Amino acid sequence: MYHKFQISGKVFMALGLKMKILITVLFSCVLIWSTMLLSSSNNNFKDQFLDNTTSDSKETPRDTLLGGLLTADFDEGSCLSRYHKSFLYRQPSPYKPSEYLVSKLRSYERLHKRCGPDTNAYKKATENLVRDENYASKSVGECRYIVWVAGYGLGNRMLTLASVFLYALLTERIILVDNSKDVNDILCEPFPGTSWLLPLDFPLMNYTYAYSYNKEYPRCYGTMVKNNTINSTSIPHHLYLHNLHDSRDEDKMFFCEKDQSLINKVPWLIIQANVYFVPSLWFNPTFQPELMKLFPQKDTVFHHLARYLFHPTNQVWGMITRHYHAHLARADETLGIQIRVFRKDAGYFKHVMDQIVSCTQRAKLLPELAAQEETQANMTYTPKVKAVLVTSLYPEYSDNLKNMFWERPSSTGEIIEVSQPSGERVQQTDKKLHDQKALAEMYLLSLTDNIVTSAWSTFGYVSYSIGGLKPWLLHTPRGNKTPDPPCVRSTSMEPCYLTPPSHGCDADWGKNSGKIFPFVKSCEDVVYSGLKLHDEL
């Protein structure tokens, strides 16, 4: 018995070993099969995810370079807004830059890299600026400069920066930006491998401790023309161009052909401006063919230049994206309302509030309020949400709008959500945080589907033009009365040149500047003086 049991035990042990091997093999097969299945499932999930996330881009590819406006030569992390804002937060622009503009921008970037700060060309040019008073007998070379001097509010600055850059593009000058203000705190560098910031030791900035840049400045071009103290035989080493709201026609006409023949010989130009003077550049018969090639669609000038030049710094971009995700991202439709009251006693006024409500309801941008007895009948299970972004120095306007749609339902059943990022009450230009908030609000407005802005407001001009939007412009109230009609829809997305010259250049001398070309017309909000580019119909 013992031997039988011993044999049976051996057999059992052998069978057990075989079973163990069999179970191990089976377990390994199951493990391999599961891994293959999981991998296949993951791949299917990835394919499905990619299909879902790229289905829109297959129909409308994500153009991070904006049709060639932007170069890919930047580090993405150093300025998140440069490549992100084009497709993550706004619909692709229907306005495509011309191939000629794209080519011109790449050529300019190469020129700026050769002539910009910290180059031998720049050092030589600044040395000559200090040393020589007269350049008549000397060759200027390829590096000529125009220095933009900061002044007035952020909206004015952005409009004038775009204007000066376009002039630099037309005349092959290098634009350098006054670095004594907060430009570097709100905007990224626009040109790769170089800087547009004027070095702080630039000699003519030190020179202005004795002389302010105004009409009395010794090298003010308009004053020299008026006094007949400048001619082609005596070319100064620099000129100051005064293009502010108080400029004379002698100042404003610097762009004319006969003036440019002299100004082109001056190596350094200093310009201070607070107006968008782009429309007047079309009056120069030399500039006009070039402008036609750069901007075949004439009301896209600022739209393209702003998207090329102006990229909010990461700190500002954070403000923009946080408010966007919190208040705008999930809405079915968005509306921007920008309110600026041009009065010494500016603040909240009922007639302005009534004007905003009247304009938005007449234009069907906001619904009427429902009568109380209609409330239940108009309720829906999945109401449409419309997000309204209000920007103003005064929070009372958004508070009243918010309460209006909270206390009563809308006649359409829509849910109206109102937000306002800030309410500073006082404009605080040159204070870093204030200017950062202002730029953030301009960009947030530009991301909305429709926009209503105040007349004469450069803040509003920048916002709607960057967004490629044709705004509803609120008429300026007279006294304390609500205008009727309260607003007008613009037919152009270009900013208004608020104080243009009264006439054209030599060939059009004495002719009203608003009647020289069919595409340069009066502004809807500044009818008697402003000029605005329109696309030819």
Q: How far apart, in whole angstroms, are the C-alpha atoms of residue 143 and residue 174?
A: 7
Looking at the fold, whether 151 and 255 belong to one and the same domain comes out as yes
Structure tokens at 153: 């509010």
Task: Identify the three-state secondary structure at position 467.
Answer: coil
pLDDT score of 40: 41
Find the length of the chain. Answer: 537
* DSSP assignment string, 361-424: HHTTSSPPBPPGGGHHHH--SS--EEEEEEE-S-THHHHHHHHHHHHS-BTT--EEEEE-S---
Q: Are strands 531-533 and 520-522 parallel, antiparallel or unpaired?
A: antiparallel
d(CA 480, CA 63): 47
Domain count, the chain: 2
Structure tokens at 19: 């079973």
Are the CB atoms for 493 and 470 separated by under 8 Å? yes
Q: Would 68 be classed as within a structural domain?
A: no
Cα angle 310, 313, 314 (rounded to 5 degrees) comes to 140
Decide: 504 and 259 in contact? Cβ < 8 Å: no
Distance CA 179, CA 199 (A): 7
On whether residue 302 sits in a domain, the answer given is no
Separation of CA 395 from chain center: 24
- The answer to whether residue 4 is domain-embedded is no
Q: Examine the fold and report which residue of 275, 295, 327 is the final residue of a domain before the chain moves on.
A: 275
The reply to whether 214 and 356 lie within a common domain is no
* Domain annotation covers residue 160: yes
Residues 350 and 463 both lie in one domain:
yes
Q: pLDDT tens, 337-371?
A: 999 998 888 889 999 999 999 999 999 999 999 98
Alpha-carbon Rg for the chain, nearest whole angstrom, is 31
Does residue 408 share a domain with residue 261? no
Is residue 168 located within the same domain as residue 217? yes
Check whether residue 220 and residue 348 sit in a common domain: no
| Whether residue 265 sits in one domain with residue 319 | no
**Which whole-number Å values give the CA distances from 95 to 69, 294, 435, 514, in the listed order?**
12, 13, 29, 25
Name the nearest CA neighbour of 197 among 163, 150, 141, 142.
Answer: 150
CA distance 211 to 203: 13
Query: Residue 97: pLDDT above 50?
Result: yes
Asked whether residue 437 falls in the same domain as residue 510, the answer is: yes
| Burial tier of 197 (Cβ tally within 10 Å: 0-12, 13-18, 19+) | middle
CA end-to-end span of the chain = 113
Please check whether residue 156 lies inside any domain of the structure: yes
Residues 463 and 326 in one domain: yes
Band of residue 35 on the pLDDT scale cut at 50, 70, 90:
very low
Predicted confidence at residue 321, as pLDDT, reads 95
The answer to whether the beta carbons of residues 411 and 367 sit under 8 Å apart is yes
Task: Identify whether the C-beta of residue 474 lies closer than 8 Å to the C-beta of residue 347.
Answer: no
- Is the Cβ–Cβ distance between 207 and 189 less than 8 Å? no
Residue 449: both structure tokens together: 């589907």
Q: What span, in angstroms and rounded, lies between the C-alpha atoms of 380 and 528? A: 48
pLDDT single digits (tens) 250-263: 999 899 999 999 99
CATH code, 497: 3.40.50.11350
Q: Which of 4-18, 145-159, 431-445 has the lowest mean pLDDT?
A: 4-18
Give the tens place of pLDDT for each residue, 109-119: 999 999 999 99
Range of the domain at 464: 313-369+382-533
Least confident of 11-20, 198-207, 396-405, 475-484: 11-20
Residue range 257-271: mean pLDDT, rounded: 94
- Report the greatest alpha carbon distance in the chain: 136
Over residues 482-502, mean pLDDT: 95
Judged against a pLDDT cut of 90, whether residue 5 lies above it is answered with no
pTM over 0.75: yes
Residue 45 lies in a domain: no
- 478, 528 in Cβ contact below 8 A? no
Report the alpha-carbon distance of residue 51 to residue 55 in Å, rounded.
Answer: 5
pLDDT tens for each residue of 348-357: 999 999 999 9
Q: Which distant-in-sequence residues (6+ apart) come within 8 Å of 304 by Cβ?
A: 69, 95, 97, 101, 295
Q: Are residues 134 and 267 in the same domain?
A: yes
For the beta carbon of residue 495, count every other beta carbon within 10 angstroms. 30
Q: Residues 283-301: pLDDT tens digits?
A: 999 999 999 999 999 999 9
Task: Examine the domain organization and report whether 120 and 253 are in the same domain.
Answer: yes
Q: Are 351 and 477 in contact (CB under 8 A)?
A: yes
My answer on whether 198 and 340 are in the same domain is no
Beta carbons of 360 and 473 less than 8 angstroms apart: no
Token pair for 414: 């829509």
What residues form DSSP beta bridges with 269?
Answer: 146, 239
Mean pLDDT within 420-445? 90
pLDDT over 80 at 134, yes or no: no
Q: Let me know if residue 137 belongs to a domain.
A: yes
User: Is 313 within 8 Å of 79 (Cβ atoms)?
Assistant: yes
Looking only at the bridges linking them, the beta strands covering 174-177 and 145-149 are: parallel
Which class for 71: exposed (0-12), middle (13-18), buried (19 or more C-beta within 10 A)? middle
Distance CA 46, CA 303 (A): 38
